[in-house]
Amino acid sequence: MYVLVGVTRSSALIVVDVQKDFCCEGGALRVPGCEGIVPRINEYLRMFVDAGLLVIASRDWHPPNHISFKPYGGPWPPHCIQGSWGAEFHPGLELPSDVYVVSKAYLRDKEAYSAFDGTELHYVLSTRGVRRLFVTGVATDYCVKATVLDGLRLGYEVVVLTDAVAAVSEEGGVRALEEMLKAGAILADLSSVKLVT
């Protein structure tokens, strides 16, 4: 069987949280496989940028005393603190100069895994007529999943680019992909995505 997903005029690419703390040597909360997907994300970036399509990059953007941090009762080591080295995007990520950056979980007492949660993302996408989202980044089992499920709930067609996401745990990543599929997401890779603008 041969299935293709079209990258249409109403498509946008979302790169979820490809930040140094998650993806680089010395990062506070490294996601295995994150560095490995950067070249593939760049291939998708070129496809979308060359077609003049919207590119969104989300980032964790925590205050130093964020509730998701262990010293403040949360599950994670401190990471992606506003303005810090770890919060910067991976240096190998070829984001276009007009990338739209969405910052999330920027209030001390509010955690947000989804790039839609507490952000302007839905507004930005809907005002630009975007209907189909292509999602890459980390982590499959946390912020990618939450972003995909929110996108589906908001009525977008959502394509998870499985060769450009990485999970905290392998098993969690598999479960997360199943959950996204059940919720209506399309799973695709570079060989099954075709520019049709």
**Residue 104 among the catalytic residues:** yes
Q: Compute the least distance from the CB of residue 23 to Zn ion, in Å.
A: 13
Q: Compute the least distance from the CB of residue 140 to Zn ion, in Å.
A: 15
**17 is an interface residue for Zn ion by CB under 5 A:** no
How many residues make contact with Zn ion (CB under 5 A)?
Answer: 1
Which residue number, 60 or 150, has a Cβ lying nearer to Zn ion? 60
Q: Compute the least distance from the CB of residue 79 to Zn ion, in Å.
A: 6
CA dihedral sign, ordered 167, 169, 173, 174: positive
Distances (CA, A) of 56 to 29, 66, 105, 130: 22, 24, 16, 12
The encoded tokens of residue 20 equal: 């140094």
Which residue number, 52 or 83, has a Cβ lying nearer to Zn ion? 83
- Burial of 136 per CB tally in 10 Å (0-12, 13-18, 19+): buried
Q: Compute the least distance from the CB of residue 65 to Zn ion, in Å.
A: 13
**Residue 23 among the catalytic residues:** no
Annotated catalytic residue, options 20, 60, 80, 104: 104
Cβ 40 vs Cβ 18: under 8 Å: no
- Phi–psi pair at 174, nearest 5 degrees: -65, -45
Which residue number, 48 or 142, has a Cβ lying nearer to Zn ion? 142
Angle at 53 between CA 48 and CA 58, to 5 degrees: 80
Q: Give me the residue whose beta carbon is nearest to Zn ion.
A: 60
Which residue number, 33 or 74, has a Cβ lying nearer to Zn ion? 74
Which residue number, 35 or 60, has a Cβ lying nearer to Zn ion? 60
Annotated catalytic residue, options 21, 141, 143, 150: 143
* Neighbouring C-beta atoms of residue 160, cutoff 10 Å: 25
Q: Compute the least distance from the CB of residue 135 to Zn ion, in Å.
A: 17
The encoded tokens of residue 172 equal: 């969690």
**Residue 143 among the catalytic residues:** yes
Site residues for Zn ion, 36-95, by CB under 5 A, read: 60
- Strand pairing class (132-138; 100-104): unpaired
Q: Which residue has the tokens 């999602």?
A: 135
What residues act catalytically? 17, 104, 143
Can you give the binding site for Zn ion, defined by CB under 5 A? 60
